[in-house]
Amino acid sequence: MFSYQLSVISYQLSVTSYQLPVISYQLPVISYQLPVISYQLSVTSYQLSDLSFKFTDYCLLITDH
């Protein structure tokens, strides 16, 4: 029974040691994508505000007539 637990632990350790380089590879990729995502978000918010501004103009035009 004890040897079974040991083998399970060693299996989990090997899986973890396999995942570590994968995780450490993904981290810089994620940190690279973060500014890109935040840039896209700001562009989207700019476009949204532009749209709402145009919509307000349109509404003003309609109410003027």
Q: Cα separation of 54 and 62, whole Å? A: 12
pLDDT value at residue 65: 63
Residues 6+ apart with CB under 8 A from 15: none
Q: Which of 30, 10, 7 is nearest to 18 (CA)?
A: 10
* CA-based end-to-end distance of the chain: 87
Residue type, 33: Q
Q: What is the mean pLDDT of each run of 10 residues along the chain (65 residues)?
A: 88 90 87 91 93 89 79
Residue type, 38: S
